[in-house]
Structure formats: structure tokens, C-alpha cells
Amino acid sequence: MLGRELGAMKMEEHEHKSDRILQMIKKMRQEKAVVDVNVKTAKLVVFSLDGELFAFEGRYVREILIPTEITFVPGSPDFLLGVINVRGDIESVAALTVLLGMPSSKSSAKNRILLAEDSEVRSGVLVESIDDVVDVPVDAIKPPLATINGPISQYLLGETDYRGRNVVVLDLRKLFKRFGTNGR
């Protein structure tokens, strides 16, 4: 008799657990079902620098390259690492950490060069690693915090969230304007 009661209790516990799991699945399906197809999105290339997440608007990024030999150019601004050969085209490569006033990053197998261009400048930008390329609702990109200061503040476009972490969205056009001022 005791065995039957224990068996019935285990069966009841199992049913309650199953009910909870089914409720969770139902809730998840409902949350995913609410999608506004008319939401404007922006493609962001999310990358890491010094353990922090940053992004450029994807419309300016032409290619993501594995770093090759960068040839130093004497007399170039401190943020310009040098030039690379991309299928016969010579492209400059900038150290984003220098432009943003951050510590220089160490070279690793995860490093990538974002070949980007706007209407006036085309250049590579060295980053520590690429985390993702994502579509984000435009209204999810919030204005940058007014408390952010230093060299980085002049290049801010906004901030957004990616997998529970803050992502600083940089204005590539403003970064490229610095190239035209010869680094000043």
C-alpha cells in the first residue's frame, strides 16, 4: 500500500513538472509570435576591443578580413598602422584603439580588419575580434550616455544591447573625418 502511495506521489510530482514545462514552452512561443514586420532595422557589425563591445553600422563595412602583413608607412599619423594589399588594392589600416584613446590590443588569431568605406574614405580598421553581425531595431539604438567622455565621446552614435551586454555604436563617418585632418 505504501508503495502505491509513493508511486502516486511521484506521478503527481511528474505531472506538475510537466505542466510547468508546458506552460513555459507556451509562454516562449507567445513571446516569439509577437513580431512587428514593419520595424525598421539597422545591421550592426559587433566587435570587441579591450573586453568591451562596440559596433559599426553594417552599411559602411564592405569586408571582414583576416589580418595579413601590414606594411608601416613612415610619417603617417599614430593611429595608422600601415597598409595592406587586398586583391591588388592598397588599403590603409587604422588602429581603432588609438583613435578611441584605449590601450593597444595584443595581436591574436581572433583579430580582424573591417574594410569600411563612406563617401570620402575607404580604410581597414583593426579590431580584436568580431562577435556578430546583427539586425537591430532602429529604435533600440539609444542616444549615448552624456557621462561618456574622452576621445571616444566624439565618435559615439548610440548604444544598444546585445545578449545582455551594452554595445557602443560608433559613427564610422566621424572616425573617417579624422583621417582627413591628418590625425589631428
Q: Taking the domains of the chain in order of start, what are their residue ranges?
A: 1-34, 41-180
Give residue 183's pLDDT. Answer: 46
Mean pLDDT of the chain, nearest integer = 84
Evaluate whether 136 touches 41 at the Cβ level (below 8 Å). Answer: yes
For residue 139, give the C-alpha cell. 529604435
> Was domain 41-180 assigned CATH 2.40.50.180?
yes
- Select from 148, 142, 147, 127 the least CA-distant residue to 56: 127
- Tens of each residue's pLDDT in the chain, 184 residues: 545 554 444 545 555 677 787 787 777 766 665 555 678 999 999 999 988 999 999 999 999 999 999 999 999 998 999 999 999 999 999 999 998 888 887 788 899 999 999 888 899 999 999 999 999 999 999 988 777 777 788 889 999 999 999 999 999 999 888 776 554 4
pTM of the model: 0.74
Q: Could you give the CA distance from residue 179 to residue 156 in angstroms, rounded to a whole number?
A: 17
Question: Of 44, 61, 58, 79, which Cα lies nearest the Cα of 168?
Answer: 44
Q: Is 68 helix (H, G, I), strand (E, B) or coil?
A: coil
